[in-house]
Every structure is written in structure tokens, then in C-alpha cells.
Amino acid sequence: MSEPSANPVRLKSAVRARSLAEEGVALSMGATAVVVRGSRADTVWRALEPTLRAGFERETLLGGFPARGRPFLASILDQLEEHGFLRELEPEPEDLAPAERAAYPYLESLTRRPHAALAALREGTVRVRSSHPELAAEAARALVRAGVGTVRVDPEDAPGSPLLLTTRWEPAEGEPAEHLIASGGGLWLSGPRDRSAGPDLVAPLRRWFASRKETADGTAPDEGASRLVHTLVCAQLALALVAHVARDAEDAAPAEDAEFMVTTDELVSEPCVFSVLSPLNPEATGPVPVWEAAEPPEVPALLDSVTHLWDRVFGPVAEPRPGSLPQLPVGLARSGTVVGCGPTTAEARLDALLRALRPEVWLPSAAPVGLGLGLTPETAIGAAVADLALRMPGERWKDVAAPDLSPGSRRLWAALTLRLGATASLVVHATDDGLHRARVLPETEGAFSGEGVAPHPDTAVQEALLRAVASARLAEEPPGPPLDTCGGGTSRTLSDLARWAFETRAVRLSAPEGADRLRDLGVHSAVASWS
């Protein structure tokens, strides 16, 4: 929630109110809406609205309200603050040019200080550089219409493909900012909308274009067919610059990740976040953040929190989807060319996502360490421990008797041997520290194997059987990518491995270089080595 302002404020002019009779009153501004509920909300709002629109000080308004109703009024003001419906009580500009008059309502929707932002636009300069004269001219027109005081089109000095146009905002006071239009592979990018396009963004953006199969060759699409696209993306660029000025007016922090408007030649346009993945260096490590054991969120909720990782345009991996894969007796899912499995479809999607991310984020390393990724700190630690254990030389494992199978293990064993017709045997090993490794070994050539690690022997058996069953089930489907039957683990098993590591101190845990940036994207990482 935004902090209540101590300065005089007023309701933004774009805020509209609609009575819901006894249910309350609905307040909206653009795509943002809030409902103030209560049988008397509509009556209170009608009495307050003139004061809210004229301007008020929060404490003065609350102090003049009947004591019994102050909590209700405070809750209304809190909701107005939270949804950005209030702005500072600035002097209203009177001598606005037509372009400024058009830009003012948009600025007011973005910032608490629209007049200050409008003055900054009027006093600032934008330099446009492009190798495409038509695009540069359209961008200049859009910027003038947005209220920018001075727009200069410099000689053809644009960076090479895929950047077709760049702008440099030079305010009368403050730091410059850059925005761009780029194109390639049938897509147009305009922005970013929430930060400046500095070198830290432009370089990864160039690499992203280079990685696309349909990389542009440096020429703009046909000018006649793209005139409407030019108009749209230049307007989007102008809006991005105006939004930057609005943030500067109230010293708002820029976003870490850049959001671009992405438009196709068919004028289908949507905002997409360009998340730059920093590579993880397992040979340069720091301390693992303090982890406290707690009940983690459900797997579907975790997946919902990282949908940006498979964004349709910028996602570093493909969406983990079950598609047409069978979901019994175990779940299966694909992310691009990678297959994951789990006891449920959600666990299979999570397994596929983390397996697909692994080669995207880890730098190569010859160090004898375990590398782990997870959507929670404990599962990342558990994955690192599992990876380390599976890399451990065979002589450190001791043969132990296979445990009596639990109902879950018996179900998987029956699925493998009876339903899927595989012939296999179970082998279990253990370490002196109480770690167990189970292997499903094929007894005939071409049969399916699996491997799992866990503190408890039956859990290790279940992990191994899960992968063996998934591999056998996948073989019944049309030819596709094979399933990696080693490593990983279900969320509960990875949590158990993390707990084992902290209790036994048999391994050293650290965070790889680059972990902070990846954590900002919702993915945790860990490095494990033997103590």
C-alpha cells in the first residue's frame, strides 16, 4: 500500500464513481477499479466527492469527520492511495499548448505530480537517430504530439540492426534516458515502458535477436505495408518516454526488467517483459541466504508466479505443458525439447521447467560440485545435494538391502512391471551419513531405468521408480525427446534433502555468482560440495 501523503492532495480528474446502491460505490480510472463496500458508502462518497476533487489534507479531513466514522473514511482514503487515484495539489496550468493539453490527462494518470512532469516535457529535448528517414519523421511527430518541447532528428547515425531507431531524452535537469524501436523476425519492439534502455539492456537485446531463427537482415520491412506499424510503434515510443518523465517527477524507481510493447506486422500488440538472465557461475560463490524451514506454497501457485519465464516472446524457455502426454500412472510435461515427470501434472511441469532452465543459466564448470535450481530456497538446496550425490564416485556408496516397499512404491513397481511389462531389479546404496540412492536396473536390453536420492530408502526407491515408469510410459508415445531418468526429485524429497544437509552438515552449501538476479525472477539456485 502507498504511504499516505502529508501534503495536500486531490482526486485525479480521470477517476469516475458509479453507485452500486446498497453494495457500495465503484471507483475506476482507466483499467484500474476498486469497490468501496458498505450500505452507506454511496452516501458518504457523494458527500465527500466535492472535497476530494477540490483538494484536502488527510489529517484535517479525518479530524473533521465524526469519530465513529473515521475508520471507514480512513479505509476509503487508503484505497485511493493504494490504487494511485490521488495526486498532489499542484497549481493548475492554464496556458497549455494543444499538444500539452492532450498529454496532460495521460500524465495525471501516471504520476502524483502531472504539472511538474508536463513542465519537464516542455523544457526537455529528445534526439532521434535512425537509419530510416520515414520512421524517424514519424517518431518526431509522435514526440511533438506528446508535448516534448524540442525534438531533433540527428543525421543518420543509428546503431545497426536490429535497432531501427533510438531516442535520447535530455531533461533540463536530471539524467538522460534512452528508448528504442527494434525489429526482426516479424516483430517490432518499442520501449522500454518502465526504464531506460542503457547498454546493460541493449547488448542482451541484440543477443536475443541474434538467437531468433528468423533474425532480421538489417533492412526495414516494406515501407508501404508497414506505415500503420510505424505510426503505432512510434506512438508507443512516445508514451514510453512520457511515462519515464512521469516517474522522474516523483522520483519513482525504474523497473529491474524492461517491458516492451511487442507488435506484429498484423498490428497485434501486447506488453512483454524482457527478463535478462545472468549466467550462474558455480566457481565464484557466496553464502547461501538464511533459509528457515516453512511450508512452501503449492506447486501450481509457484508455477503461476514465474509465468514470465515462458513469455510468448521473450521467455528463455518454452512453457512447460502436459500437452497430449499421458498423465497416468505418473505426470509428464514438455518444455521445448525437455521432458519432466512427477507424481502429478503440476510436479511434472515444474520438473520440465527446471530441467529446461538448467542449461540456460549455468556456466560450464569442471568443479566436483552439485548444482541446483528451485522455485523455493529449500528445493534449490535439495536439488544441489541430489546432483552432488549422483555425481559421487561409486566406492563411497555401500550396498544395503532394499527396504520393504511402501504402498506408493508398490504401486509404481506394479505399474512398471505389470502394466508396462518391464523387467527390472531394485538396487539400493547408502552412505555413512544416512543418504540413500536407489536404482532401477533393466534386466533386458532396451528396458527402462531410473535413479533417485533421498535421506529415506523408500523415498529414494519411489524417486527411481517414478523416473523408470515415466520413461517407459513416454516410450509408448510418438517419437520425441528422451526423459532424463537421473537427478532432480519431487518437491517433498528435495525439501527432505535440504533438511538432511543442514542437520548432518555433510555438505557445504553456497550461492553461485548471479544468484541474486535469478532470484529476482523467482528462481533460486545453490551449489553443494562435500565437507
Instruction: Determine the length of the chain.
Output: 531
Q: What is the pLDDT of residue 88?
A: 84
Reported CATH class of domain 9-88 = alpha beta
Q: What is the pLDDT of residue 372?
A: 93
How far apart are the C-alpha atoms of 17 and 226, rounded to whole Å? 41
Q: What is the pLDDT of residue 304?
A: 92
Q: What is the pLDDT of residue 446?
A: 56
Domain residue spans of the chain:
9-88, 98-274, 281-530
Amino acid at 83: H
Nearest to 188 by CA among 87, 268, 119, 308: 268
Q: What is the pLDDT of residue 531?
A: 83
Q: What is the pLDDT of residue 221?
A: 47
Nearest to 280 by CA among 382, 365, 369: 365
What torsion do the CA atoms of 285, 290, 292, 296 make, to the nearest 10 degrees? Answer: -50
Enter the pTM of the model.
0.74
Mind listing the pLDDT tens digit for each residue in 286-307? Answer: 888 766 666 778 899 999 999 9
Averages of pLDDT over runs of 10 residues in the chain (531 residues) are 66 86 84 82 86 88 85 88 84 73 80 86 91 90 90 72 88 89 88 88 85 50 64 93 88 81 86 85 82 75 91 88 89 90 94 92 86 92 92 82 87 88 86 90 72 92 91 76 71 91 91 89 92 83
Q: What is the pLDDT of residue 213?
A: 54
Joined grid coordinates for residue 188: 517490432
Q: What is the pLDDT of residue 494?
A: 92
Q: What is the pLDDT of residue 177?
A: 93
- CA–CA distances in Å: residue 41 to residues 25, 61, 304: 6, 17, 35
How far apart are the C-alpha atoms of 217 and 436, rounded to whole Å? 55
* DSSP letter for each residue of 385-397: HHHHHHHS-GGG-
Element (H, E) at 28: strand 24-29
Q: What is the pLDDT of residue 7?
A: 76
How far apart are the C-alpha atoms of 107 and 103, rounded to whole Å? 6
Q: What is the pLDDT of residue 224?
A: 43
Q: Are 262 and 183 in contact (CB under 8 A)?
A: no
* DSSP letter for each residue of 70-138: HHHHHHHHHHHHHTT-EEE-PPPP-S--HHHHHHHHHHHHH-S-HHHHHHHHHH-EEEEEES-HHHHHH
Bridge-based pairing state of the strands 507-513 and 450-454: unpaired
Q: What is the pLDDT of residue 479?
A: 61
112 CB-near residues (< 8 Å, 6+ apart): 5, 9, 84, 86, 87, 88, 249, 250
* DSSP letter for each residue of 276-341: PPPPBEEEEEEEPPP-----PPPHHHHHHTTGGGG-TTT-SS---B-TT---SSSEEEEETTEEEE
